[in-house]
Structure 1
Amino acid sequence: MLMKKLIYCLILCLLLIACGQKTQPSLTTLVNPLMGTSSTFQFSHGNTYPAVAVPWGMNFWSPQTGENGSGWMYMYTDSLIRGFRQTHQPSPWINDYGTFSIMPVFGKLVTDNKSRGMSFRHENEKAAPDCYRVRFDNGVTTALSATSRGAVFEITYPSEEGQYIVVDAYQHGGSVAFDKEQNCIYGTTRYNNGGVPENFGNHFIVEFDKPVVEAGTDENSCAYVRFRLNAGETLTVHTASSFISHEQARLNLSREVDGRSLADVSAEAKRIWDEQMGRIKVEGGTEEQQKTFYSCLYRTLLFPREFYEFNEQEEPVYYSPYDGLVHNGYMYTDNGFWDTFRAVHPLFTLIYPEVSERIMQSVLNAYNESGFMPEWASPGHRGCMIGNNSISLLTDAWMKGIRTFDKDKALEAMVHQTQARSEEISSVGRDGYAEYDSLGYVPYPEVHEATAKTLEYAYADWCLARFAEATGHKDVADTYYQKAQNYRNLFYSEKGFMWAKDSDGKWRENFDATEWGGPFTEGCSWHWTWSVFHDPEGLSSLLGSHKLMAARLDSMFVAPNTYNYGTYGFVIHEIAEMVALDMGQYAHGNQPIQHAIYLYNYVGEPWKAQYHTRNVMNRLYNSGPEGYCGDEDNGQTSAWYIFTALGFYPVCPGTSEYVLGSPLFPKVTISLPEGKTFVIDAEGVSDNNCYIRTAELNGVDFTRNYLKHDELLKGGEFRLLMDSVPNMERGINTEDFPYSYSTK
C-alpha cells in the first residue's frame, strides 16, 4: 500500500511539473515577413515582399498587390491584392521569372490582373514564414502554406454565387488548360526577365478538392474554374511545379503536398524554420530587438534558392539555367554575390555548412555548363553589378574547412574568371582584365565604374592567391598576391581618397569625393575608399597612419551628407537613402560601406566600432514595414544585423576571422556541427553599456579585436563585461589587430 502511495505521489509530482512547464513558442512568431515592404522605386525600406516559404525553397509564395510584371509585387501602402504569386524574385531590380498566380474571384468573373484585385486591410492580414492568411473586404478568405516545390491553399466564399479561381500563367508564351478528368489545371509559364535558355519553362499543376462546374481560358494565358460551394465551405487547392517537366511537377506534388492539409504543411514549415533559426538562440533584449533579429534571420535564409528537384530515385537533379539540359547534382540561384559574399555566405559557412557545401558545388556546376562562375544569377547569368566575388565564396569556404568541392576545378575556374569576359553578360568574367593586368588598374573613362572594379579585383586576386597557396600552387599564389596590391595604384595621395586614372596614367580632373557613379558603383569615393578588405593596414599606410585613418573614419560620420549625382543624372534611391539617414557620408543602405565601422579595430580604436555598430542597429533597423534603410539584397543587409547583434563581423571573407563590435543581447547560444555550442555572454549589456570593458574566451583573458573561425567551431564561452564608458586601453596593440596582408 505504501509503495502504491509513493508511486501515486511521484506521478502527481511529474504531472504538476509538466503542467508548470511552458511550451517553447515557435520562433516564427517573432518574424514579421512584412518587414521592409513599405518601399517604392524612389526610396527603399528593404524592397521586400512577404515570402511564404521554407529556407532556401525552390519556390516562394506571396500576395501580389502590384500589376503583373511589376518588380514591386507587394507594397505595404497598396489596398488591393491581385493574386497569390509563386515567385522567384530576388530583387525588384532583377524582377521575376517562372511565375504564375492563383487568385479567388467573387461575383463577376474577371481574369485580367489589372481589374481583378480585391480590397483588404492589414488588420485582416496575418503574415508568417509558414503561412499567409487574409480576409478580403468582400468576405472571401484565403490562406496558404508552402513546401519547397509545392503549396496548399484554403479558400472560402461568403455566399454560393460567383465562386471562381483564376490561374494566371503571365503570357510570355505561357499556356494553361483545364483537365476535366483530373479536376486540375496544367500550365507552363515562360515568363522571365533574362538569364534563361530558349527552352526555359516552369511547369505547374493546380488541383482542386471540390468539383468544378465551369472552366475556360482567355487570350492572356489565364484559366478560370467555377465552383458551387456552400457559404463558408473550404475549398482546398494543392499545387506544385517543376523546371524539368510536368511529369516531375506531378512527382513533386505527390511527394510534398498531395493529400496534406494546410495545417499539416504549415506545421511542417514551422518546424523547419524553428530548426534552422533555432541554431542561433538569443536571450534578453527587448521584444522588438528579438523580432528584428529573427525577421532578419528569416530573410537571410531565403536565398540563394534551391534550383534542384528529386527524381524517382530520390536523387537531386536540376534543369540547368545555363545550358538548358537536365543534370544530376545541385544548383542554387537567385543571388548577387556582390552583395552576399560579405556576410550571408560567411554566415552559412559558420552556422549552415551543409548548405554551403552544396552552394559551392553549384558554383562549379555553373562553370562547367557555361564557362564562367556566376556573379549574379537569376536563374542564369544576369548583367548586374561588378567584381569576381564567386572567388571569395570558394576561398572562404575552403579556408573554413568546407572542402567537398573539386579544388583543381575551382582553381581553374577562378583563374579563368580573371582572364576573360563574357561578350553577352557584362557581369560575367572580368571587365577590363587586359588593362588591369597591363596597367595595374582599370582605366576610366575607358571602362565604366573602373575604380570600383579595380578595388574589387584586387580583393578577388588576394582570395585567389589564398586559395592557390592553401592548395599547393605557390606560383599562382605569388602572381595573384602581387596583383592584390593594385588597389594602391588608384589612391590619390594628394586628396587622400580613391579616385580614377585614364590609360595614360593621368588622374581624373575635378576631384569630388561626393560624386556618385562614373568610376564608382552605386556610391562615391567616401564609400569605396574603404574597400580594401584584405589589407586595411596597407590602406592605413596610404592614409598616413593609424591615427589618421581613424580620424578619416570619424569624419565620415560628421561630414555634410551632400552629394553629386554625377553620371547617374538624377537622385538614385541609394543617394536619397543616405541623405535621409543623416549620418554624414555613411550610407549603410548600400553594401560598399557596410564593413567600414569595423575598420576601427585595425587602427587601435575598437571602442568606436562598438559605439557605431550599436548606433546603426538601434537607428536603422526595426521589424516593421520600414525596417531597413535601403535594399535588403538577398539577405546581406539582414546578415549584417545578425552578425553585428552577435558582436562580430566577417570583414574579410577568406581570413577566417570575425572582427569584434558590440553584442546586442545578454546571451546568445550558437549551435555548431558535432553538437558543439558557442555561447556569448555580455554581462551588463544595454544601449548605454555598449563598450567592452574586459573579455574572456573559455576563462582566459582575451585582448584581441577578433575571433578565429576555429575558436568558434571548438565551442566554448566568450564572456564580456560591458560598460557605459569605453576602455581605451584594450585592443590598442598591433598584435591584437585583425589580419592585413601588409602585416602577413
Structure 2
Amino acid sequence: MLSRRQLLASSAIGVVAGALPAAATNPPSRSAPNLFIGTGGHGHTYPGPTMPFGMVQLGPDTDVERWDACSGYHRTDTSIIGFSHTHLSGTGIGDLLDVLVAPGRGPVQLQRGTLDDPDSGYRQRFSGEHAEPGYYRVALENGVQAELSVTDRVGWHRYGFPAGPGHLLIDLSHLFADSRPSAPLIDAAWMDVDAAGTLTGSRRTFRWAKGRRIFFAMQLSRRPDRITFYGDGDAAQPPGTNRVAGRRLKAVLHYDDAGAAPIVVRCALSGVNAEGARANLAAEARSWNFDAVRGRAIRAWNAALGTVRVEGGTADQRTILASSLYHSQLAPTLFSDVDGRYPGLDGKTHQVRQGGAAFSTYSLWDTYRGQHPLLTLIAPDRAKMLVDDLIRQTAQSPYGPLVWPLQGKETGTMIGWHGVVPLAEAQAKGVPADYAAAWPAIRRRSFDFTAPDKENSLGRDLYDALGYVPADKVNESVSRTQEYAYDDWASAHLARAAGADAEAARLLARSANWRNVIDPAAGFARPRFADGTWWKAFDPILLGHMPKPDWRDYTEANGWQATFLNQHDIYGLIAHLGGDAKFEAKLDALFTAPSLLPESAPPDIAGLVGQYAHGNEPGQHVPYLYAFVGAPWKTQAMVRRLCTEMYRNDPDGIIGNDDCGQMSAWFVFSALGFYPVDPVEAAYVFGSPLFERAQVMLGGGRKLVIEAPGNRPETPYVAAVEWNGRPLTRSWIAHRDLVAGGALRFTMSSVPNKAFGRAPADRPPSSGRTPA
C-alpha cells in the first residue's frame, strides 16, 4: 500500500418544510468559520480561498518539505514563499502547489530560501493574515499588500506595492518535495507570452500523481515593463525572449513603478491544454473588478454554509461547526473546463455532457464514510453530479472503481476500491443515475484477477480463493480482507441494480470474508497465514508479525482497531465475538485500554481514547456500535466526549489529518445528533446532539429541524426522541424519512435512559436486518 506519508428502513413519512411547527420556521443564525482550524498540528488544511468544490485552491505556501506542511502551509511558519493555485486539504501526502506567484521588491531572488533564514531567498516574513471563505489577505515584510480571491477555474490576485520598482516571480519549479526528491519530479515545462501579454504555460510533475499535467493562462491588469525568462539552472534567457522550455522554469515580470496602481493577476487553470486554460479565463474573467469577484465568492460560500445553522452550545463550538461545514465542501474538486473537457484516467481527453462536470481529489478511503453521505443531505445536486462523475470515470479507468484519483491520475493510495461505496450509497438512497454503466468495470475489479492492479488491490486472487488475504503473502492483509469485504457488500448492491443477480449473490457471500481474519478464540482481528494458522505471538497493539517497518498486517491501525472495522455486518460480528454482552464488554475494553502504541506506529493513529483512534478514519463509526447491542447511552456519552475533546477552535483543532473533509464531516453529523455507520444501509444511528437547535436545508425546499431544548455540557444522554411529534423508541432513523424533512426532537438528560433503544427491535439495521 502507498502510505499517505510516503509516496432501509422505516416507512414513516416525514413532513415537508411548510408543515413544520411555527417555532421551527425561524432559522438559527450562522456562525463564521475559522479557516485556520486544521492549519496547525497534523490537520494539513490551508487558509487560502477557493469556491465550493472549485478547481482553483489559491493560497499562501510556507513550506514544501515537512509532512505537517502537506498542504503547503503550516500555521507555525513565519514566512511565506508565495501564492500557488492548487492545494490539497487535509491529506497525508503532499502534491500540487501549481503556478507560484511571489511579489518582490529590490534585487531579484530566484531561490525561495529557508524557513530558518527567509532573507536567503524570495520568501517573505508576514503579518496581518486574514482569511474568510473566498478571500485571503496578508501584509508581506517587503511592503506588498497581497489579496486573493477566486472563481471556479480562475485565481485572482491583487497586489498593492509601495512606490518604486517591483516584480512578480512566476515559479514553475515550485512543488512539494518532502525532502525525498525522486527524478524527475518535473520532466517537462514551458512558458510563453503572446503579443497581447497573456502568459501561458504548463508543467508535468511526478510527485504523488505521477505524470500529472497542468496548464495555465495568466493576464495582468498592468502589462509589465519587461519579462525575463529563466531556464533550467536559473539560466537567464536573452532579452526579448518570449518562450522558454525545460524542466524547472521561472519568469520575472518587472514593473519600473509597481506602486503606481494595484496589480491584478487573473490566472486560469486547465488539465487539458493551454487553449482550455485560455477559454476558462475568457469565460470567468470578463473584468478586472477584484472586489466583485470577492463578493461573488463570498455569496457562494454563504449559500453553501447556510445549509446548516445552529443555536446553543458555545461560541467556539458554533465556529467549529461552521469550519467543519466549510472543510467538508472543498473536495472533490472541479476538473473539467468550461467546454466540459477533462483528462480521463485512461490518458484520453473526454467531455461531459452540458450541465455536467468532472471532478478530482477523491479521497475515497476517507470520505465514503461521512463526507459523501453529508453531501447527499446538504448538497443533493452536488452529490448527484459526483455520482454521475464516479460512474463515468469508473468506466474509463483501467483499474475500474476509483481509489484516490488526483487530476487525471489514479494514485491507488490506501487499500480497497472504495469508489463503489458512494455509488452503492446513492443507489440505496434513490439518487437517479446510470449505475449499470459502472458495473462492467466493477465486475472486472471484483472477479478478473488478471486485470491491472495497483497497490490498493493486491491479493484479490488469494482473497477470492482462500476467503482472506494471507499475512505471509501480502502486506496489510488483515485490513485488506475486511475492506475488500466491505467493497464486495457495496458492489453487490450495484450488481443487483445492473441485473447481475448471480454476481450479486457471489459478492454478497464474499462480503462475509471479514470473519476469516477475526479469531473468535482470541477475540481480535489477527494475522492469518496461507496455511490457515494464526500468528501465535500476537499482541493487539502491534502493527504486524514482521519486524520490518514497511510490512504491516493492518492499514494505519492495529489489532484493537481492526477488530471493529466491519461496517456492514455488525450483527454477524457481534455473534462471531460471542454475543451482545461480550461485544459490549469488548467495546468497553477498547475505550479503556492503555493508550500504548509501538514506536513504529504511523502518526495517523492519533486522538486515542484507550485504543480507539479518532484521528484516523477506519474506526470513526465505532462509538456508534453500542447502539447495536442495545446500549446507545454509551454511544451518547462517547460521542459527546469526542465532539468536545477532539475538536477545538484553534489551528491545532483537528486531532488528525482532515482528509478532504472526513474528520470535519464526522463532527457535522455527530454535532447534529446522528451518523451513517454504514452509508450503504441508508440509515443513521443516533448519538448526542451538541446544540439546542439546528436547521438543515435538504434541497428542494425541504428542511430538517433538530431540537434539543436545554441541551448543556452536563446533559449528554438522550432520554427520548420524537420524529414529527411522534415518540421514537428506536436508536436510529432511516435516510428516506430524514431527507423528506421534518422535526427531530431530542429530550436530553444528565443521566442515561438505559431503556431507550434497548429492545432488539429498536436497534439499527445492519445488512438489511435487525436482531429482532
TM-score (norm 1): 0.90
Identity score, percent: 32
Superposed CA deviations along residues 304-335 of structure 1, whole A, max 9, x for unmatched, are 11111122xxxx22122432323334321112
Could you tell me whether the CA contact under 8 Å between 2:604 and 2:615 is conserved in 1? Answer: yes
* Closer/same/farther in 2, CA of residues 121 and 209 from structure 1, 3 Å limit: closer
Match of 2:45 in 1: 48
Could you tell me whether the CA contact under 8 Å between 2:524 and 2:560 is conserved in 1? Answer: yes
Could you tell me whether the CA contact under 8 Å between 2:436 and 2:494 is conserved in 1? Answer: no
Match of 1:556 among 581, 590, 606: 590
Match of 2:149 in 1: 145
Alpha-carbon deviation of 1:159?
2.8
Superposed CA deviations along residues 672-722 of structure 1, whole A, max 9, x for unmatched, are 232111111111111111111111101111111111111112211011111
Quick check: 1:658 aligned with 2:687?
no
Distance in 2 (alpha carbons) for counterparts of 1:310 and 1:68: 34
- Give the match's secondary structure for 2:410: coil
More helix by share: 1
Q: Equivalent residues in 2 for 1:207-606 (5 A)?
A: 207-219=219-231, 220-229=248-257, 231=259, 233-311=261-339, 316-329=340-353, 330-371=357-398, 372-379=400-407, 380-404=409-433, 406-420=434-448, 426-427=454-455, 430-470=457-497, 472-517=499-544, 518-565=552-599, 570-575=600-605, 577-578=606-607, 581=608, 583-606=609-632
Q: Equivalent residues in 2 for 1:98-137 (5 A)?
A: 99-114=98-113, 115-122=120-127, 124-137=128-141
Distance in 2 (alpha carbons) for counterparts of 1:37 and 1:159: 34
* Closer/same/farther in 2, CA of residues 94 and 30 from structure 1, 3 Å limit: same
Match of 1:89 in 2: 88
Could you tell me whether the CA contact under 8 Å between 2:125 and 2:140 is conserved in 1? Answer: yes
- Give the match's secondary structure for 1:97: coil
Could you tell me whether the CA contact under 8 Å between 1:178 and 1:216 is conserved in 2? Answer: no
Match of 1:701 in 2: 727
Alpha-carbon deviation of 1:542?
1.7
Alpha-carbon deviation of 1:433?
1.6
Match of 1:687 among 696, 701, 713: 713
Distance in 2 (alpha carbons) for counterparts of 1:321 and 1:408: 19
Distance in 2 (alpha carbons) for counterparts of 1:421 and 1:267: 52
Tell me the amino acid that sits aligned with residue 389 of structure 2: S
* Closer/same/farther in 2, CA of residues 431 and 701 from structure 1, 3 Å limit: same
Alpha-carbon deviation of 1:336?
2.2
Distance in 1 (alpha carbons) for counterparts of 2:223 and 2:507: 66
Alpha-carbon deviation of 1:178?
5.7
Could you tell me whether the CA contact under 8 Å between 1:375 and 1:427 is conserved in 2? Answer: no
- Give the match's secondary structure for 1:537: helix
Distance in 2 (alpha carbons) for counterparts of 1:90 and 1:326: 26
- Give the match's secondary structure for 1:207: strand
Report which stretch shifted further, 486-495 or 591-600: 486-495
Alpha-carbon deviation of 1:734?
0.6
Distance in 1 (alpha carbons) for counterparts of 2:430 and 2:324: 26
Superposed CA deviations along residues 161-193 of structure 1, whole A, max 9, x for unmatched, are 3x0101111272454546363233222122342
Could you tell me whether the CA contact under 8 Å between 1:26 and 1:270 is conserved in 2? Answer: no
Q: Identify unmatched segments of 5+ residues in structure 1.
A: 1-23
Alpha-carbon deviation of 1:246?
1.9
Could you tell me whether the CA contact under 8 Å between 2:352 and 2:358 is conserved in 1? Answer: no
Match of 1:182 in 2: 196
- Give the match's secondary structure for 2:265: strand
Distance in 2 (alpha carbons) for counterparts of 1:180 and 1:460: 50
- Give the match's secondary structure for 2:228: strand
Alpha-carbon deviation of 1:94?
3.2
Alpha-carbon deviation of 1:85?
0.6
Distance in 1 (alpha carbons) for counterparts of 2:414 and 2:482: 14
Could you tell me whether the CA contact under 8 Å between 2:681 and 2:766 is conserved in 1? Answer: no
Alpha-carbon deviation of 1:454?
0.9
Match of 1:608 in 2: 634
Could you tell me whether the CA contact under 8 Å between 2:341 and 2:349 is conserved in 1? Answer: no
Tell me the amino acid that sits aligned with residue 342 of structure 1: R
- Give the match's secondary structure for 1:201: strand
Q: Equivalent residues in 2 for 1:663-682 (5 A)?
A: 663-682=689-708
Superposed CA deviations along residues 216-270 of structure 1, whole A, max 9, x for unmatched, are 0112411011113364731111211212222221221121123142211111111
Could you tell me whether the CA contact under 8 Å between 2:475 and 2:553 is conserved in 1? Answer: yes
Distance in 2 (alpha carbons) for counterparts of 1:106 and 1:641: 44
Could you tell me whether the CA contact under 8 Å between 1:464 and 1:477 is conserved in 2? Answer: yes
Tell me the amino acid that sits aligned with residue 169 of structure 1: L
Alpha-carbon deviation of 1:283?
2.0
Match of 2:218 in 1: 206
- Give the match's secondary structure for 1:654: helix
Could you tell me whether the CA contact under 8 Å between 1:98 and 1:189 is conserved in 2? Answer: no
Structure with the larger RCO, 1 or 2 (CA within 8 Å, 6+ apart):
2
Tell me the amino acid that sits aligned with residue 312 of structure 2: G
* Closer/same/farther in 2, CA of residues 742 and 226 from structure 1, 3 Å limit: closer
Distance in 2 (alpha carbons) for counterparts of 1:524 and 1:490: 13
- Give the match's secondary structure for 1:573: coil
Tell me the amino acid that sits aligned with residue 85 of structure 1: S
Alpha-carbon deviation of 1:613?
0.6
Superposed CA deviations along residues 88-126 of structure 1, whole A, max 9, x for unmatched, are 43555432237111110111111222344443345x110
Tell me the amino acid that sits aligned with residue 340 of structure 1: T
Tell me the amino acid that sits aligned with residue 142 of structure 1: A
Quick check: 1:644 aligned with 2:670?
yes
Superposed CA deviations along residues 60-89 of structure 1, whole A, max 9, x for unmatched, are 111011148973511111111111011143
Superposed CA deviations along residues 425-465 of structure 1, whole A, max 9, x for unmatched, are 5245x321221112111111211111111111222222222
Distance in 1 (alpha carbons) for counterparts of 2:397 and 2:492: 24
Distance in 2 (alpha carbons) for counterparts of 1:34 and 1:174: 35
* Closer/same/farther in 2, CA of residues 383 and 425 from structure 1, 3 Å limit: farther
Tell me the amino acid that sits aligned with residue 454 of structure 2: S
* Closer/same/farther in 2, CA of residues 180 and 492 from structure 1, 3 Å limit: closer
* Closer/same/farther in 2, CA of residues 742 and 293 from structure 1, 3 Å limit: closer
Tell me the amino acid that sits aligned with residue 489 of structure 2: W
Could you tell me whether the CA contact under 8 Å between 1:178 and 1:186 is conserved in 2? Answer: yes
Q: Identify unmatched segments of 5+ residues in structure 2.
A: 1-26, 114-119, 175-185, 232-247, 545-551
